[in-house]
Amino acid sequence: EDAFVIDLGTEGVFIERAAELPIGEEGELHIPWPGSEVPMRARCRVAWWHPAEEKLASKSLPAGAGLQFLEMSEADRARLRAHLEDYCRQDPRVPRFLRHWPDAEKLGDDPGA
């Protein structure tokens, strides 16, 4: 089925969906990828469910499911990480959890090393 992705991260995704999905249910997710005919694929499980009538303390979301990525190819994981890094770097006002961008050298991800 088609679903609208609201929040995408390295460990999972939130999808809008009116009908409840049972927590723990597993399935495969295919996300069309910008600039590619090959979608990102991941095996997921329903980690949590948010009914429309409940309010969240941190944000406003429609009814939907939080899906945790269980398995993903290394190529898709690299595409996802690069996409999220590009998105966060595009504008300093983009919401993100880190208050600063981590120093790549300190993380051991220095491409020049």
At 49-73, the pLDDT tens digits run 988 777 765 667 788 999 999 999 9
Helix boundaries (H) for the chain: 74-89, 104-107
Q: Which amino acid is at 89?
A: R
DSSP secondary structure of 73-102: -HHHHHHHHHHHHHHHHS-TTS--S-SSPP
At 10-37, the pLDDT tens digits run 999 999 998 999 999 999 999 988 888 9
Global pTM? Answer: 0.73
